[in-house]
């Protein structure tokens, strides 16, 4: 299952440094706008202590964590929706993502140029969000103009629903309300899906702080970002891209030691990856055995048959049943045998809605 979170922001706010840390890739991170021109895609593993525990229980030949993609998109500038900078190209890259991680600079440093001249996180957020809004508004306006005659001369139910959804979207965007905050009906949401609107994508704000602020309470910039995010019912993660880049170069033991020295319970990147995973509406199920322990990503709400298809299409085509136990039941009981003896192992059919932490063995016949 390939889902992507796009990292966006103004130039020189720490996007590429953060991306380097996330993927341990040495892409160009330079102190000038447009240092990153093509989108850089990296696959990241999702930290999950449960998989490590399963590995210790089964001692498999290999252990495979679940993962998803982050895309680093070059810095947007004011006027991007009208083609300023490399705007239109970059906006098209954002359109291909499933969620947006917006990096906001929340520290002062005279040695790092700010494209707007001074630090103001809310102004920076609004520059980015306005460009996304303008781009969506242009698409909505063009589509409404093209559909007017068709809707007037037709009683096509789907076309009427689409037109109403577009009008609702236009009204909201003109008020600078992102589409993710609009209460669309299920039918309207379906009608708008093919447009890949930018402002309908779930958003998470990343407050990039300095090393000096790591162990301190939120500075005034971070407080501003958190307040802004809360009004949008969005998440805000505080992170120091520079420190995370250093942490990414360390082995696990040295990383734990450095986190302890910094007074941090966990890496900011681990929090970011976990929050983004949740933002995308993802959960994890496991398959276990002496050959392999593996975590699999699925969208919340998927049934057992659909989840079987994530492993292989034949599993879905010939699905018979799923043998399921929960991770917590396995831990509590201590072994698969004891889970069965306790009556907590289950046989589930194709319509069973998979739960995070399910451990499955799929039976199929093709």
Token pair recorded at residue 195: 């447009």
Q: Which of 10-14, 31-35, 52-56, 216-220 has the lowest average pLDDT? A: 31-35
Average pLDDT over residues 103-111: 87
Measure the CA–CA gap between 250 and 229, rounded to whole angstroms. 32
pLDDT tens profile 133-181: 998 999 999 999 888 877 777 777 888 899 999 999 999 999 999 999 9
Q: Which of 229, 226, 264 is nearest to 243 (CA)?
A: 264
Average pLDDT over residues 345-354: 96
Q: What is the pLDDT of residue 183?
A: 93
Q: What is the pLDDT of residue 116?
A: 63
Quick one: angle between helices 121-152 and 220-231, nearest 10? 20
Q: Which of 18, 24, 72 is nearest to 45 (CA)?
A: 24
* Burial class, 204, CB count within 10 angstroms (exposed 0-12 / middle 13-18 / buried 19+): buried
Is 20 or 180 the better-scoring residue by pLDDT?
A: 180
Q: What is the pLDDT of residue 153?
A: 72
The rounded percent of the chain whose pLDDT value lies above 90 is: 55
pLDDT beyond 50 at 286: yes
pLDDT beyond 90 at 205: yes
Measure the CA–CA gap between 287 and 20, rounded to whole angstroms. 31
Measure the CA–CA gap between 163 and 168, rounded to whole angstroms. 9
* SS3 of residue 180 by DSSP: helix
Q: What is the pLDDT of residue 70?
A: 86
Q: What are phi and psi of 337, to 5 degrees?
A: -60, -45
Measure the CA–CA gap between 228 and 122, rounded to whole angstroms. 8
Pairing of strands 292-299, 282-287: antiparallel
pLDDT beyond 60 at 39: no
Dihedral angle over CA of 186, 191, 195, 198, nearest 10? -20
pLDDT tens profile 75-88: 655 654 455 444 45
Q: What is the pLDDT of residue 192?
A: 93
Q: What is the pLDDT of residue 30?
A: 42
Q: What are phi and psi of 60, to 5 degrees?
A: -75, 165
Q: What is the pLDDT of residue 68?
A: 81
Q: Which of 49-63, 237-251, 300-314 has the lowest average pLDDT? A: 237-251
Q: What is the pLDDT of residue 77?
A: 56
Q: What is the pLDDT of residue 203?
A: 94
pLDDT beyond 50 at 37: no
Token pair recorded at residue 101: 């991680």
Q: Which of 9-13, 138-142, 322-326 has the lowest average pLDDT? A: 9-13
Average pLDDT over residues 210-231: 93
Q: What is the pLDDT of residue 155?
A: 73
Q: What is the pLDDT of residue 263?
A: 86
As a whole number of Å, the end-to-end CA separation of the chain is 22
Highest mean pLDDT among 93-102, 132-141, 189-198, 353-362: 353-362
The rounded percent of the chain whose pLDDT value lies above 70 is: 89
Measure the CA–CA gap between 238 and 205, rounded to whole angstroms. 9
């Amino acid at each position: 299952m390939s889902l992507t979170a796009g990292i966006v922001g103004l130039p020189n706010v720490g996007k590429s440094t953060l991306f380097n840390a996330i993927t341990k890739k040495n892409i160009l991170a330079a102190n000038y706008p447009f240092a990153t021109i093509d989108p850089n895609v990296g696959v990241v593993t999702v930290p999950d202590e449960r998989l490590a525990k399963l590995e210790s229980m089964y001692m498999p030949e290999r252990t495979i964590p679940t993962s998803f993609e982050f895309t680093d998109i070059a810095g947007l500038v004011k006027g991007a929706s009208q083609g300023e900078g490399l705007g239109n190209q970059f906006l098209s890259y954002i359109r291909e993502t499933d969620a947006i991680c917006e990096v906001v600079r929340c520290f002062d440093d005279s040695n790092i140029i700010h494209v707007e001249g001074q630090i103001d996180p809310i102004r920076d957020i609004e520059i980015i969000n306005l460009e996304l809004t303008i781009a969506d508004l242009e698409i909505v306006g063009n589509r409404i103009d093209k559909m007017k005659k068709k809707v007037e001369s037709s009683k096509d139910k789907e076309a009427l629903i689409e037109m109403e959804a577009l009008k609702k979207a236009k009204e909201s965007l003109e008020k600078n309300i992102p589409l993710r905050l609009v209460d669309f009906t299920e039918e309207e949401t379906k009608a708008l899906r093919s447009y890949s609107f930018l402002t309908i994508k779930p958003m998470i704000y990343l407050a990039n702080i300095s090393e000096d602020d790591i162990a301190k309470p939120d500075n005034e910039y971070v407080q501003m970002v958190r307040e802004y995010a809360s009004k949008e019912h969005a998440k805000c993660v505080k992170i120091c891209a520079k420190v995370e880049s250093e942490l990414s170069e360390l082995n696990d033991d040295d990383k734990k030691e450095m986190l302890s020295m910094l007074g941090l319970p966990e890496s900011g990147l681990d929090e970011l990856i976990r929050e983004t995973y949740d933002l995308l509406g993802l959960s994890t199920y496991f398959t276990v055995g002496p050959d392999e322990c593996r975590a699999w990503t699925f969208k919340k709400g998927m049934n057992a048959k659909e989840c079987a298809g994530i492993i292989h299409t034949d599993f879905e085509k010939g699905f018979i049943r799923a043998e399921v136990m929960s991770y917590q039941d396995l831990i509590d009981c201590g072994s698969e045998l004891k889970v069965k003896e306790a009556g907590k192992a289950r046989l589930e059919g194709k319509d069973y809605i998979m739960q995070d932490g399910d451990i499955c063995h799929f039976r199929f016949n093709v």
